[in-house]
C-alpha cells in the first residue's frame, strides 16, 4: 500500500467500514490500493440526505475500531418525488423491493433521478466528506445482475443500460462513487 499522510502513517492501515465485500473490491479498484474491510453492520440514522447518514456511521465505526475509517452512504433521488427516497432507497429496496421502486414512478412522465455517493473519512479528530453525483433515470423494471444495491434500476444519462448491466470497468468509469473516491484519494495524497 502506498505511504499515506497524517494519522494513517501512525495507524498503518485504512479501514473501510462495511459488511459488503463487493463495495470493498469496488473501492480498492477505484482507489488503486487495497482497503482493509472492517466488517461491521452499523446502525443508520434515518434521513433522506446521505451526508447525515455517512457522518453518523463514520463516528460509530471509529468508536468501534479506534482506527481511521472510511464509510459511504448512497442516495437515489427521484425528481418526480421531490428527491424521495434519497438515502432511504436502501429501506425501500429492503421492504418493498426494486420492482416496487420502479412502480412508484408509474404515473409520472418524469423518471429522471440523481445517484449520489457520500464518502466520509474520520480519524477521531479530522472528519472530511467527499460527494459524487451522476444524473440519470429510473428504469421501467430492474435490469442486470452485476453490481449491488439499486444498480439494476439506475440508468446513467446518455446510456441505455443500468449500472447492473454494465461491466465493473464501465460502471466504475462513470459512477458517483468514483467521483467521491477520487476526491478521497486526492485528500490522502
> How many angstroms separate the Cα of 148 from the Cα of each of 158, 162, 166, 169, 177?
21, 11, 12, 14, 13
> What is the assigned CATH class of domain 7-188?
alpha beta
pLDDT of residue 129: 97
| Annotated domain spans of the chain | 7-188
Q: Is the pLDDT of residue 70 over 80?
A: yes
What is the pairing mode between strands 36-38 and 154-156? unpaired
Judge whether 143 and 152 are in contact, CB under 8 Å: yes
Q: pLDDT tens-digit profile of 22-43?
A: 889 889 888 888 889 999 888 8
Instruction: Provide the pLDDT for residue 4.
Output: 35
Give buried/exposed letters for 48-72 (b at 16+ CB in 10 A, else e): bbbbbbbbbbbbbbbeebebbbbbb
Contact status, residue 85 vs residue 76, Cβ threshold 8 Å: yes
**How high is the pLDDT of residue 12?**
56
* Gap between the Cα atoms of 162 and 20, Å rounded: 20
Residue 32 DSSP code: T
pLDDT at 2: 31
Distance of CA 68 to CAs 91, 121, 122, Å?
28, 7, 6
Cα separation, 151 vs 46, whole angstroms: 21
* 3-12, 13-22, 122-131: range with lowest mean pLDDT: 3-12
At residue 115, φ and ψ (nearest 5 deg) are: -100, 135
> Residues 142-151: what's their mean pLDDT?
91
Residue predicted with more confidence, 189 or 171:
171
Rounded Cα distance between 73 and 119, Å, is 7
121 neighbors 68 (Cβ within 8 angstroms): yes
Q: What is the pLDDT of residue 161?
A: 97
pLDDT given at position 1: 32
Amino acid at each position: 500500500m502506498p505511504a499515506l499522510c497524517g494519522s494513517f502513517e501512525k495507524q498503518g492501515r485504512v479501514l473501510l467500514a462495511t459488511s459488503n465485500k463487493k463495495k470493498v473490491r469496488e473501492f480498492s479498484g477505484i482507489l488503486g490500493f487495497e482497503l482493509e474491510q472492517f466488517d461491521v453492520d452499523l446502525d443508520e440514522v434515518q434521513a433522506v440526505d446521505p451526508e447525515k447518514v455517512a457522518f453518523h456511521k463514520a463516528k460509530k465505526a471509529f468508536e468501534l475500531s479506534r482506527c481511521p475509517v472510511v464509510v459511504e452512504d448512497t442516495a437515489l433521488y427521484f425528481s418526480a418525488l421531490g428527491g424521495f427516497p434519497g438515502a432511504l432507497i436502501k429501506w425501500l429496496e429492503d421492504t418493498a423491493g426494486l420492482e416496487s421502486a420502479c412502480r412508484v414512478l408509474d404515473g409520472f412522465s418524469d423518471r429522471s433521478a440523481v445517484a449520489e455517493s457520500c464518502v466520509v473519512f474520520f480519524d477521531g479528530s479530522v472528519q472530511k466528506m467527499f460527494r459524487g453525483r451522476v444524473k440519470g433515470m429510473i428504469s421501467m423494471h430492474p435490469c442486470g445482475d452485476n453490481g449491488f444495491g439499486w444498480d439494476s434500476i439506475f440508468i446513467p444519462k446518455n446510456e441505455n443500460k443500468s449500472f447492473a448491466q454494465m461491466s465493473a470497468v464501465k460502471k466504475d468509469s462513470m459512477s458517483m462513487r468514483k467521483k467521491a473516491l477520487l476526491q478521497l484519494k486526492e485528500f490522502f495524497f
